Structure 1
Amino acid sequence: MTLLAACSLPRSGPNKNEIYSGAVERGGNAHVIYVNDHVNRTANFAPSYGFSSTFQGAGQVGADTIRAGDTLGIGIWENVDDGLLAGLGQSATQLQQIQVDSDGFIFVPYAGRIQAAGATPESLRQAITTRLSSQTPDPQVTVVRAAGDGATVSVVGRVGAQGVYPIERPTRTLSSMLARAGGVVIEPEIAVVTVKRGNESGKVWLTDLYTGSQNDIALRPGDIILVEEDQRSFTALGALGGQTKVPLGNEMISAIEAIAMVGGLSTNLADPTGVFILRDEPDSVASAVLGQPVYGTQRMAYVLDLTRPNGLFLARDFLIRDEDTVYVTEAPYVQWQKTISAITGSANSAASIANTAGLN
């Protein structure tokens, strides 16, 4: 009974042989691969964030272009004492808070309904002047874009002031709009900025936004800007200094660094020949690693043997990706120690019981 109990002793997870038994070669559904230079060359890629050419190629919105929803201020001076619009004894008429309707038009008395959307204040001024010239001599017209609320973007997430902001001359690019919204309120190293435009979206690290001008894209009306903390992480399990979920941040983390981030290998438990990186690999990468075509996502168990002459170098060069599991098996002698402890502990317990019974 003692030996049977020893077979089910507590442990942190499967041992190496149990993982190997799940290999494709043994009828399982996982590819167990020892990491070497070839594996590092073919499996190591870091999915990067960035905007597509569609985002990067879009030119800046004209700051003076009038759009539906904008508010205009129009001033009209007439060169007669009793004009069409001005009161008796006055020559100037101010038409304030004229909003461009949803079809892009405005109405000006005696000039009628005029297309404003798509025009600049100057071209609209000329159109109004032409319309009025047939009714009052030499009218002088001014047009001011009082509020550009017709071209707005929404800024949400981890910024100083979420809200809907107009695209104006100082805020026509992503970085300037983020500054207008109070800046980012989380650590720049873990901040990701996503821009949704229609059916497309793109994202970029905040630090890459300020280091690469190609990422500081021009904004478009209706854009949604989301700032959030990066959610990429890996999970550490087994004979390690800690078992936890660890955020990746925006750095490229190697297997050695991942182990160090959770306290390193457990000196009393870990088997340095049994460091596993478990992941679901896309078929393109899996085919390159295996050297033969495979189809569909493949379960891969990459094995790092840190006791090999170049084991630490291979682990240093192996990159950890989002949703990886870093698992370290226990050394074989650990289970043996537990078995011996269970046997001797059971014997000691039996002797203690017998002694206690004898005393009674």
Structure 2
Amino acid sequence: MRVALRIAALSSMTLLAACALPRSGPNKNEIYKGSVDRGGNTHVLFVNDHVARASSYTPSYGFGSDFLSAGTVGADEIRPGDVLGLTIWENVDDGLLASMGQSNTPLQELQVDSGGYIFVPYAGRVRAAGNTPDELRQIITRQLETQTPDPQVTVTRVAGNGATVSVMGKVGGQGVYPIERPTRTLSAMLAQAGGVAIDPEVAVVTVKRGNNTGRVWLRDLYANPRNDVALRPGDVILVEEDQRSFTALGALGGQTKVPLGSEEINAIEAIAMVGGLSSNLADPTGVFVLRNEPQSVARNVLGRDVYGDQRMAYVLDLTRPNGLFLARDFLIRDGDTVYVTEAPYVQWQKTLGAITGSASTANSLSSLGN
């Protein structure tokens, strides 16, 4: 009876231990069971030279042709919202506008309306937007010279609120800034706003213009003059720290979310960034990179037509003759999960430990029974 009790206790505890052993995640066979070949929805592929090349697509930052082809805004061009000052001289003692004994009439703070017009007495509603102050001066002069002899007109810009951009995010001074002669390009406007307030190596600059958006690394903005795009009234400039990252899980030196930074990172570097493979746990034949692959890249990798984004599990076997080279050539992208399975013997050791512990527990129970 006592022997049967011991055996029953030992068997139940061993079965329980085998079913509930702690581990860092699924093993290789469990991942393989989810492959398309076995009725799952994930393409499980061993990385070779073709796979490494076909999957090396890396989304890049940059500006579209609509940004790159835009010319600089004329610093003297009048725009809706600008405030103008006019002074009109008349060559008569009793002029249309001037008071008795005065030869000139100042018209201060004439704001250009949303349609681009201002109102000038005796000249009527005059279109100001799109003209320089000198061009507007000539237009008003022509309108008045039929009513007063030899009028002289001056036009000045009192305030240029009509041509502004908004600068936000990690800059020295957020705010609304006018587009002036020294600040007609992106880099000049950032300097006007006090420069970036974060590490330039991870700073990303986004420009939103209507429905279009362009994005560039700060270092690429200064390295390539083409990226120093001309600004337009109403542009929104946002400076922020790059948010791209990958996640490291499993039998690694650390399990965490890791920023990618501005450089391209391969699988070897990604593993090294979290402390490398755990020498006591990791299976070097079971290094997985999990990602959702865009349709165009998935077609190149698989060599056949597929539709929509595809779940991919890339397998890196570091024990193969060129395994380390393939891992070095395989690029990590934003949103990737780098997962390393545990070596089979680890689970075996855990099972043995569970059995040994269960046997001790069974003996303890037997002693209590006695």
User: Would the TM-score normalized by the shorter structure come out above 0.5?
Assistant: yes
Q: How do residues 117-266 of structure 1 correspond to structure 2 at under 5 angstroms?
A: 117-266=129-278
**Which has the higher mean CA deviation after the structures are superposed, 241-250 or 75-84?**
75-84
Q: Secondary structure at the match of 2:216?
A: strand
Checking the alignment, whether the CA contact within 8 Å between 2:81 and 2:112 is kept in structure 1 is yes
Alignment of 1:232-311 (within 5 A): 232-311=244-323
SS at match of 1:336: helix
Q: CA deviation at 1:53?
A: 0.7
Q: Is 1:30 paired with 2:42?
A: yes
- SS for the counterpart of 2:332 is coil
Give the letter for the 1:321 counterpart. R
Alignment length (residue pairs): 358
- 3-state SS of the aligned residue for 2:289? strand
Tell me the secondary structure at the aligned position of residue 308 of structure 1: coil
Which amino acid in structure 2 is aligned with residue 109 of structure 1?
P
Amino acid at match of 2:121: P
CA offset at residue 354 of structure 1? Answer: 5.6
- Cα distance in 2 between the residues matched to 1:344 and 1:232: 46
Partner deviation per Cα, 1:135-184 (whole Å, 9 max, x = no partner): 33322221112221112222222222222222111111111112222221
Superimposed CA distance per residue, residues 290-314 of structure 1 (whole angstroms, 9 cap, x where no aligned partner): 1222222111110001111111111
Instruction: Check if 1:2 corresponds to 2:13.
Output: yes
> Match of 2:110, as an amino acid?
I
Residue type of the alignment partner of 1:72: L
1:233 counterpart letter in structure 2: S
- Deviation larger for 245-254 or 319-328: 245-254
Greater shift in the superposed pair: 94-103 or 264-273: 94-103
Structure 1 residue 349 displacement after superposition: 3.6
Identity over the aligned pairs, expressed in percent? 75
Counterparts of 1:268 and 1:201, CA distance in 2: 48
Deviates more, 1:290-299 or 1:319-328: 290-299
**Cα distance in 2 between the residues matched to 1:84 and 1:169:** 37
Structure 2 Cα separation of the partners of residues 165 and 335 of structure 1:
63
- Which range moved further: 76-85 or 11-20? 76-85
* Cα-to-partner distance string for 1:264-295 (whole Å, 9 max, x where unaligned): 11111101110000011122211211122222
What one-letter code is carried by the residue in structure 2 that aligns with 1:165? Y
Q: Find the aligned partners of 1:292 and 1:130 in 2 and give their Cα distance.
A: 71
d(CA) in 2 for partners of 1:265, 1:150: 59
Q: Distance in 2 between matches of 1:140 and 1:278?
A: 75
Contact 2:57 2:297 in 1 (8 A): no
Q: Whole-Å Cα distance in 1 between the matches of residues 104 and 367 of structure 2? A: 115
Partners of 2:266 and 2:88 in 1: CA distance: 69
Q: SS at the partner of 1:315?
A: helix
1:356 Cα deviation after fit: 7.5
What's the CA shift for 1:339? Answer: 0.7
Question: Helix, strand or coil for the counterpart of 1:341?
Answer: helix
* Residue number in structure 1 paired with 2:61: 49
**TM-score scaled by length of structure 1:** 0.94
1:11 aligns with 2:52: no
List gaps (5 residues or longer) in structure 2: 1-11
CA distance in 2, matches of 1:154, 1:244: 36
Q: Is the 8 A contact 2:14 2:358 kept in 1?
A: no
Post-superposition shift, 1:94? Answer: 2.6
Please name the residue that 1:69 is paired with: 81
CA distance in 1, matches of 2:115, 2:32: 68
